[in-house]
Amino acid sequence: MEGKRTSVPARLAYGIIVDTQVIRTAPERFIYSGIGDMVSKITALYDWQFEAAAGYTKVNDFAVMIAKKAVNSFVRTPFQSITEELFLRELLDSLAMSGIANEIAGSSAPTSGSEHLISHALDKLLEQPQLHGIQVGIATYLMALVQEHRYVRVNTIFTDTGFWDYVAALGMKKEDFRRAIDLAPSIKPHRHTYLHEEQYRETAKRLLEEDEILRRVLR
Ligand SMILES: [Zn+2]
């Protein structure tokens, strides 16, 4: 190369090997965690665009397109059971595709927004946090309500997959989510998601009390 600088993609994986037979027999909480994390791209992308509209960052349109395609392909997949081959394949492919969106963007912004901040805050606050994607999924529904964007879709997939019934049995507390909402912006102070604005933190806390579904699944 004679001293010339070259770029080599160092972090992008060459390939992914997934044994869906193994995943089919995994405890369902891991599948629910994957579902919650996948659906979170809906709110993460909306946060990223919100952040850009407020002048804090620029979105990479190609990364947005990839992540959007990934989540839409997943949520539009018809299924009877979450252990079905096609459903699991869609889930895993979409998760991998979202990872590529991050690579393109050079950050986790396409796949991680306010809903992830709530989950990271719960990890800090709770002695025994739940699985990442479980916390993220609940926070995704909450933030979709706050953003007034695609919350019906989020609720449909969580209802149809049994995610909500699984969550309802965990006994998670509204109070913990309240505290996590307040802590959320300090987790990534350089970002500007919906939760970095006080009015939306207040809306989120109000919805915890008022939304019928959240009242059912949280204590
Ligand atoms: Zn995640």
- Mean pLDDT for 198-211 is 98
| Residue 23 binned pLDDT confidence (cut-offs 50, 70, 90) | confident
Give distance in angstroms: CA of 133 to centre of ligand 1. Answer: 6
Give distance in angstroms: CA of 181 to centre of ligand 1. Answer: 17
**Domains, the chain, ranges and CATH?**
23-217 (1.20.1090.10)
Mean pLDDT of the chain: 94
Give distance in angstroms: CA of 42 to centre of ligand 1. Answer: 12
pLDDT value for 24: 81
- Dist CA 31 CA 23 (whole Å): 8
Give distance in angstroms: CA of 38 to centre of ligand 1. Answer: 8
Helix axes of 41-53 and 28-39: crossing angle, nearest 10 degrees: 20
Give distance in angstroms: CA of 117 to centre of ligand 1. Answer: 10
| Burial class for 5, CB neighbours closer than 10 Å (0-12, 13-18, 19+) | exposed
Give distance in angstroms: CA of 175 to centre of ligand 1. Answer: 22
Tokens of 210: 């008022």
Neighbours of 68 (CB within 10 A): 16
- Mean pLDDT for 118-138 is 97
Whether the pLDDT of residue 5 is over 80: the answer is no
Give distance in angstroms: CA of 18 to centre of ligand 1. Answer: 19
| Secondary structure in 3-state letters for the chain | CCCCCCCCCCCCCCCCCCCHHHHHCCCHHHHHHHHHHHHCHHHHHHHHHHHHHCCCCCCCHHHHHHHHHHHHHHHCCCCCCCCCHHHHHHHHHHHHHHHHHHHHHCCCCCCCCHHHHHHHHHHHHCCCCCCHHHHHHHHHHHHHHHHCCCHHHHHHHHHHHCHHHHHHCCCCCHHHHHHHHHHHHHHCCCCCCHHHCHHHHHHHHHHHHHCHHHHHHCC
- Mean pLDDT for 97-116 is 95
Give distance in angstroms: CA of 37 to centre of ligand 1. Answer: 5
- Residue listed under structure tokens 């979170």: 40
pLDDT tens for 133-165 read 999 999 999 999 999 999 999 999 999 999 999
Give distance in angstroms: CA of 164 to centre of ligand 1. Answer: 18
Give distance in angstroms: CA of 4 to centre of ligand 1. Answer: 37
pLDDT tens for 27-39 read 899 999 999 999 9
Give distance in angstroms: CA of 146 to centre of ligand 1. Answer: 19
CA atoms within 13 A on the CB side of 66: 20
Give distance in angstroms: CA of 135 to centre of ligand 1. Answer: 9
- For the chain, the straight-line distance linking the first and the last C-alpha, in angstroms and rounded, comes to 62
Tokens of 145: 């309500």
- Mean pLDDT for 195-202 is 98
pTM of this structure: 0.92
| Residue 6 binned pLDDT confidence (cut-offs 50, 70, 90) | low
- Mean pLDDT for 172-182 is 98
Give distance in angstroms: CA of 116 to centre of ligand 1. Answer: 6
